[in-house]
Amino acid sequence: MSPVPASDFGFSNEWMKDRVAIVTGGANGIGYVIAERLARDGAKLALGDVDETALGQAAARLEEISGHPVPTAAGDLAEEAHATALIAAAQGAFGRIDILVNNAGGGVISPFLEHTPETLKTTIDRNLWTAIWCCRAVLPVMIDQGYGRIVNIGADSVRNGLWDHAAYNAAKGGMHGLTTGLAREFADRGVTVNTVAPCATRTPQLDDYIEKSPDVAQKFIDIIPTGRPAEMAEIASMVSYLASAEAAFVTGQVISVNGGSTML
C-alpha cells in the first residue's frame, strides 16, 4: 500500500481558486497527478502532451474534477510551434494564464558512452527545449498581467550525479539554470520561477525500470535516507505551493523533494 495516499493531499488550496494553469506532459505520470492536484485546488487547467490518446483521457477526467473545459494541444513541445499553440489554446479559452508547470520530459537513462547521437538529442529536446519554448511563449502573457508562476520539474540527480544520468542531468541542469536566470529577469514583473527537483518517484515507468534493471534501480533507492521513492502526490504538493499566490516571495529556487537524498 502506498505510504502516502493521494487523497491525503486533497485539501483545498484557497490561493488557487480560478487560477489558470498549464501543465506540460500532463497526460501521464507525475504531470497528470500535478494537474489533478491543481484542479482539486480550484484551478482551471490546460494540458499539452505528445501522447494524444492519453491527453484526451486526462482532459476528460480533469473536466469532471474541475467542472471547467480543459483545452489541450497535442504535439512535441520541443518544437516552438507546438509550445506556442498550447499557450494560445489556454489563453483563448480562459483569457489569462497564471501558472505554467514545465513537467514534460523523462530520461533516456543510460551510461554516457552507450547513448547514440539520437538519444542524446532526444534527452535534451524533451527535458530542456520543451521548457525553453513554453517559457518564451508564456512570459509575454504573464508580464502583461503583472502576475505569473512558472514551476519547472527538474531532477535531484543533478545534485548527486546519479549513475547513468549524465545526459539527463545536462538537460535538467540546463533547466535549473533557466530557473535562476528567468527568476532574476522577471522578479519585478510579478513572475516567480522555481524548480521542483524530485528523486526517484514511484511512477509506472519506475516500476518497469525496477523490473528490467533491479540492481541499478535498487542503487537509486538505496541513496534515499527515507528508504523509498517519492510518491507522485508528494511532488504535486510542492508544485501546488510554488504555483500559488502565497509563494510570492519564493523565486529562483531549486527545491528537492527527495527523502533526504541530498541535503542543503
Ligand X SMILES: NC(=O)c1ccc[n+]([C@@H]2O[C@H](COP(=O)([O-])OP(=O)(O)OC[C@H]3O[C@@H](n4cnc5c(N)ncnc54)[C@H](O)[C@@H]3O)[C@@H](O)[C@H]2O)c1
- Single out the residue of 16, 183, 206, 233 in contact with ligand X (rule: CB under 6 A): 206
Whole-Å CA distances, 133 to 121, 165, 208: 16, 23, 30
- Name the active-site residue from 147, 168, 209, 241: 168
Instruction: Report if residue 22 touches ligand X, rule: CB under 6 A.
Output: no
- Single out the residue of 78, 142, 233, 242 in contact with ligand X (rule: CB under 6 A): 78
The smaller minimum CB distance to ligand X, of residues 147 and 173, is found at: 173
| CA dist., res. 153 & res. 206, Å (int) | 16
Give, as ranges, the residues between 38 and 67 that touch ligand X (CB under 6 A).
49-51
The smaller minimum CB distance to ligand X, of residues 27 and 166, is found at: 27
Instruction: Report if residue 105 touches ligand X, rule: CB under 6 A.
Output: yes
Instruction: Report if residue 90 touches ligand X, rule: CB under 6 A.
Output: no
Please give the torsion angle defined by the CA atoms of residues 16, 148, 178 and 247, in that order, rounded to the nearest 10 degrees: -50
Catalytic, 147? Answer: no
Q: Which stretch binds ligand X (CB under 6 A): 29-37, 142-150, 186-194, 252-260?
A: 29-37
Instruction: Yes or no: say if 83 and 94 are a contact pair by the CB < 8 Å rule.
Output: no
- Single out the residue of 153, 158, 238, 239 in contact with ligand X (rule: CB under 6 A): 153
Cell of 19: 487560477
The smaller minimum CB distance to ligand X, of residues 103 and 237, is found at: 103
Distance of closest approach, residue 208 Cβ to ligand X, in angstroms: 10
- Single out the residue of 77, 100, 158, 182 in contact with ligand X (rule: CB under 6 A): 77
Q: Which stretch binds ligand X (CB under 6 A): 37-45, 65-73, 75-83, 134-142?
A: 75-83
141 backbone dihedrals φ, ψ, rounded to 5°:
-65, -45
Give, as ranges, the residues between 164 and 183 that touch ligand X (CB under 6 A).
none
Among candidates 129, 89, 101, which has minimal Cα distance to 39? Answer: 101
Strands 44-49 and 254-257: unpaired
Q: Which stretch binds ligand X (CB under 6 A): 20-28, 35-43, 64-72, 255-263?
A: 20-28
The smaller minimum CB distance to ligand X, of residues 51 and 246, is found at: 51
| CA dist., res. 22 & res. 88, Å (int) | 11
* DSSP assignments along 18-50, one per residue: T-EEEEETTTSHHHHHHHHHHHHHT-EEEEEES
DSSP letter for 74, please: E
The catalytic residue positions are 168
